[in-house]
Chains A and B, each alone.
Chain A
Amino acid sequence: MVGKVRKKLVGKGGGRVDGRKPNDLRPIKIEIGLLQRADGSAYIEQGKNKILAAVYGPREVYPRHASLHNKALIRCYYRMASFSTEERKSPAPSRREVEISQVIKDALEPVIFSEFYPRSMIEIFVEVLQADGGTRCAGITAASLALANAGVPMRDLVASCAAGKVDSQLVLDPNDVEDKEGEADLPVAFAPQMGVVTLLQMDGLLSKDEFDQAFKLAVDGCKQINTLQKEALRGKYLAVGAAGGPGQGEKGG
C-alpha cells in the first residue's frame, strides 16, 4: 500500500496550519437574542464554525405522555445544515448528529433547574451553518447562552472546548483538519462556577500524562470561553441606553 505522506500540521515552533500557537483558541464572536420567535437564542463564530442555538420553553410537553411529573423534560437537537461541510450532507440526521444531540443535552441538563417546571418541556436546538471542527463544543457554548437569554433558571453557564493531539503536540481547540488528521480529540464542557465537568469524550490515543495535560488544557479553554460568554451577556444587556437589552416587547395574541 502506498501511503501519501501528509503535510505536517504542527511546525517545529508549534505553529499550526492556521497560524495559531498550540494554546490559542480560534477567534470567537458571539451574538445573543438574534431570533424573534425563539424564547432564547445565541449565535457563535469560532474560527470557521458558524453555529446558531435556539431555546423554546419551558412550554407544554408534546407528546403528552412524555411528560415528567416532577421536572421539565429537556430535549436537544443538534443538526448540521447540508451546506455546512465540504461535501454536501443529506439534511436527514446522521447517527453522529443523534449522538451529539444526546451529549449536548447531558452537558446542559445538570445546570438547569428543571424541577421548577414539572410537566413541561425545554427544547434546545443547535443548527450548524458551517462546520470546521469542534462544533459540539461551540454548540454547547451557544446553547448555554440561549438558555440564559430565554430566562431558564440555571446554576451556572456551561462553556465547552476541545483539546487535541496533532503531530505529537497537544493543542487547544483543534480545527477540522487537526481533528481529522490528529492523534486524539478531547471535547470537554465545564460549568465554571460549580467547577464541574458536564461533557467529556475522547477518541484517539493518549498516554496518562498526555491525557492529564490535554484535559487541563481543555478545561482552561472552557474557562477562557466562559469569560467571553460573560462579556457577550454583559454586552447584550448593558448596551447604551439599554436599547440593546431585553426584548423590544412582543405583541400578544
Chain B
Amino acid sequence: MLFVESRQWVIPGDLLAKGEYTAGENVYKDEEGFYASKVGLVDFENRVIQVIAVHGCYLPSIDDLVIGKVLKVGLSEWVVDINSPYKGILFVSGASGRPFDSRRDELRDILDVGDVIIAKVLEFDRTLDPRLTIKGRGLGKAESGYVVKMTPTKIPRLIGKKGSMIELVKNRTGCQITVGQNGYILVIGKKVEDEVLAVEVIRMIERDAHTSGLTNRVGEFIGKRK
C-alpha cells in the first residue's frame, strides 16, 4: 500500500509504503514499511520505490565517467578531487601509455596540481579509495574550458532519456560538454559566450530538474539567446 503519490515531495522519515516493494535509492526499509532517507521526489517504477534526492554526495561506481582535479602529485600516483568523500587515485599506469621510468621521467610532466582530467573509475570498494584511469577514448587532460559543479543526484536529468537532454544542449549551444557522473561537468565552447550560455542552461536544468516540460523550456531559453 502506498502512502504517497508519485513525484510527491518527501523528507527523511516519511513513510512511503507498506507491503511487497523493493527499496531503491534513498529509501530504507524496516519492519513497519518503506521510508525516505533524504529530501526529494518519490518515484515508483514497477515495485521499486526510490527518492530522487535534491542533495547528496557522489559515491563512485566502477566504469563511471568522472571529471577530476589533481590535488597532489605523489611518488607514483596523483591524488584527484572527484567531488566525493573519497579521493581518486590515478597511478602512472593509468595515465601514460609509455613505460614510466622514475629515474628519468617526472610525474609533473604528465599531470600537475590543478590539472583537470576526464577519467573513468576502474576500481572502488569500501576499503580502498577509487582507482582511476585516463587511458581510453575521450579520456585525458582538459586543456581548456569551464567546469560546472552540480549536485550528482541531478546528473541523470541533465543527461536525459538516452542522452536526449544533453544532446539538445550540446547541439544548440555548439559546445562540447562532458558530463561526469560525479557532478562535475566540463564545458568547452569555441566562444566564451557559448560557454556562458551552456553553463546557464545547465544551472537551469539543475534548478528545475523535477519539473515537467523542461526539455521544451530549455530549447526555448537557448532559442531566445542565440
Contact = CB atoms under 8 A, between A and B. Distances in A.
Contacts of B38: 148, 151, 153-154
Contacts of B147: 251-253
Contacts of B126: 70, 118-119
Interface stretch (A45-53, A78-86, A175-183, A233-241): A233-241
B207 A155 contact: no
SS of B interface (majority): loop
B184 A148 contact: no
Contacts of B11: 148, 157, 230, 233-234
Interface in A171-208: 191-194
Interface residues of B, number: 47
A194 B13 contact: yes
A127 interface: no
A246 interface: yes
B151 interface: yes
A28 to B, nearest CB: 17
Interface in A103-155: 111, 113, 116-121, 148-151, 153-155
B9 interface: yes
A33 to B, nearest CB: 9
A40 B67 CA distance: 23
B55 A246 contact: yes
A252 B83 contact: yes
B56 A252 contact: no
Contacts, number: 134
Given A40-B55, A150-B55, A253-B147, A155 B37 contact: yes
Given A153-B26, A252-B149, A237 B39 contact: yes
Interface in B14-70: 14-15, 26, 28, 35, 37-39, 53-57, 59, 67, 69
A90 interface: no
B54 A246 contact: yes
24 contacts: A58-B85, A60-B87, A69-B127, A119-B127, A120-B85, A149-B39, A151-B55, A153-B12, A153-B56, A155-B35, A155-B37, A157-B11, A157-B12, A193-B13, A193-B15, A193-B35, A242-B211, A245-B54, A245-B207, A247-B206, A249-B149, A249-B207, A250-B150, A252-B185
Given A119-B127, A151-B55, A151-B151, 14 more contacts: A58-B85, A59-B57, A117-B85, A118-B126, A119-B85, A148-B39, A151-B38, A154-B38, A230-B11, A237-B39, A242-B210, A249-B149, A251-B148, A252-B67
Interface of B: 9, 11-15, 26, 28, 35, 37-39, 53-57, 59, 67, 69, 81, 83, 85-87, 116, 126-127, 146-151, 153-154, 183-185, 202-203, 206-211
Interface of A: 39-40, 57-60, 69-70, 72, 111, 113, 116-121, 148-151, 153-157, 191-194, 230, 233-234, 237-238, 241-243, 245-253
